[in-house]
Structures are given as C-alpha cells and as structure tokens.
Amino acid sequence: MTVMRSAGGEALIKDVGRDDVTMRSFLRGLAPVDQVGVEQRAAMLWSRSIKTDSKQWGLDTAVSMIDLTTLEGNDTPGKVRTLCVKAVHPDPTDPQCPRVAAVCLYPDLIADAVAQLAGSGVAVASVATAFPSGRASRAVRLADVREAVAAGAGEVDMVIDRGAFLAGRYSQVFDDIVAVKQECGAAHLKVILETGELATYDNVSRASWLALVAGADFIKTSTGKISPAATPGVAVTMLAVVRDFAAATGERRGVKLAGGIRSSKDALRYLVAVKEVAGEPWLSPDRFRFGASSLLNDLLMQRMKLRTGAYSGPNYVTVD
C-alpha cells in the first residue's frame, strides 16, 4: 500500500506492466518484508485458540473453501469420478455438510468432471501452462489453457515462469499472465507463484503484486510438487498483498494456499490469518481456497467429533 500511494494509485498500478523498467522499479519499490517479523506475526496468529462455535464455523467454511485436488500421473476417470462424488457430498452421513469449492485436475480429465458436476455448484479447475514446471514454449502453455477452457474448466490454475522471475525478466512473466488471462475468457485465473522456489518473502510479495496487476483472480502459493509449499509466513505475506491491492484498486482478489495443509487445526489457523491479515471479506470461497486432498477427511472427522462428542477415526470417512 505504501508504494501504491507514492506511485500514484490505481491508474499507475494498471500501467506498471507497460515495460520492463516500469515493472522493475515498481516491484523494487514495494515495502520489504522482514522474514523474522512476518514469521513472528504468523506464530502469533497460530496461537489463537479456536473453540466451540468458532470451530464449527471454521470447519464448515474450510470444507467449502477446498479445491479437492488430484494431480498425479496415475489419475484415471475412475479416480475423478470418486473425487467428484466426494466433492458434492463430502460426508454422506451429514446432509448439512457443505460441498467443496472445486475439484482441481489435469486438463485431460476436465471433460469428465465437468459432465459429472454440472449443476452441483462445485467448480471444475484445471491446472495448465505445462504444470507443474511451466517449462514449455508460450504457445504450448497457451494451448494447454485453451484446451482446458474448451473442455469446460471454470477455473484455471497456471504456473508462472519462476526462471524468468528469478532472472529479473518480470515483463516476460507479466506478459505470460496477461496472455493466459486472455485465453481464459470467463474462466477464473489462479496464478501459482511456486513460493518454495522464489525462496524469499520479498520475492513472494513482488510476484504476488505482479500477478495481481497482470490480472490474476487468485494468487496461489504452490503446485504441491515443491517443498516447502504453503507456509504460514507465505500466507501472511500474500494475504497482506491482496488486502493492499484492494485498498489501492478497490478490487478484492483471492488467495489459494496449496500443498502441505493436512490438518483441521492448520486450516483453522489459516482462517485466522485470512481474517486478521486480509480481513473478514476474504473469509469466503470466492476469495480464499485451500488446494488439498487429505485435509478434507480431517475436517470431516473434526466435524463428527463436534457433532457426536467422540473422536472419529479414518474408517468413518471415505477414502478417495
């Protein structure tokens, strides 16, 4: 926000992608992020104690924010079918259980999922752009997007070219995103920064701004193929950027955390970060998502515990 103000506000933000020099000076002018400070802030958020009503609300909301994901070489139409059923009715024993936000798949499996989820309210998201490395020509990456959208994907999860970003070719990354966004049409674009490869919070902050300015509807931490994936410090950093972007432009964009979030406790804590860093308007699947698979079952078990008063076990929730 600091930089936004001094840089001259909304109009200029939209203009920073004009050329490399402008983009570079904009990104370098952002307020730095102190690692120790941001991790301390995260640790403090993580010390919040979520009980009873808040916990119930948090568990339900977390379920509704999940992009139920499978991104494996051995994915099959059968696996996708199982996943889609679960996405709509995560807990067959509890009709009150919310559906998840989306399923997230490779492009070639999108058509099946779209057919199965039509009218369910669960969106279908496709990774694209030569996920997860992104190491392909722009033409190939755009073709990947085109096919996913053509197959009916309502959401596209692209990866940025981390190599270009780390080499300082910010405009190239920017142009990629703009091109993908164009290819997406009405589909929502999530831009995966792969924060584990960007290594520093300053880079996370810069890449977040870059993606938002280029038109990302969501900024997303990770592919799930690189460790570390989503971390509390990265989440806090990205949530602060969408908040500041909204303050500067009036547009509330979303954040998706992906990779490594497996427990309900973690999910509830990330929601604390969403509330206290970005703000309450972000406590919604429209603006916040978990990219996860095993997290869902843990949330379901915790929901059961709240409902029955007894601890649940893995055989009381469905395997995918």
Looking at the Cβ atoms of 2 and 25, the one nearer to other proteins is 2
> 305 an active-site residue?
no
- Reported as type and span, the H/E element at residue 127 is strand 123-127
Q: At what angle do helices 232-249 and 264-273 cross, to 10 degrees?
A: 30
Give 35 or 294: the residue with its C-beta nearer to other proteins.
35
CA distance 211 to 170: 10
Question: Rounded to 5 degrees, what are φ and ψ at 169?
Answer: -90, 70
CB of 152 to other proteins, least distance (A): 28
DSSP 48: -
CB of 241 to other proteins, least distance (A): 10
Question: What are the distances in angstroms from CA 249 to CA 175, 206, 217, 274?
Answer: 20, 17, 13, 19
Q: In the complex, which residues of this chain contact other proteins (CB under 8 A)?
A: 1-2, 5-6, 31-41, 47-55, 57-58, 61, 199-200, 240, 271-272, 275-276, 280, 283-284
Distance in angstroms (rounded) separating the CA atoms of residues 58 and 270: 10
Closest distance to other proteins from the beta carbon of 247 (Å): 9
Which helix (H) or strand (E) segment is 135 a member of? none
Q: What are phi and psi of 280, to 5 degrees?
A: -60, -30
Nearer to other proteins, 64 or 129 (CB): 64
User: Which residue in 157, 161, 202, 244 is the catalytic one?
Assistant: 157
Q: Is 256 tagged catalytic?
A: yes
Query: Is 217 considered catalytic here?
Result: no
| Residue 5 beta carbon to other proteins: minimum distance, rounded to whole angstroms | 6
Nearer to other proteins, 11 or 36 (CB): 36
Q: Catalytic residue among 55, 181, 220, 275, which?
A: 220
The single residue of 256, 266, 275, 298 carrying the catalytic annotation is: 256
Residues marked as catalytic: 157, 220, 256
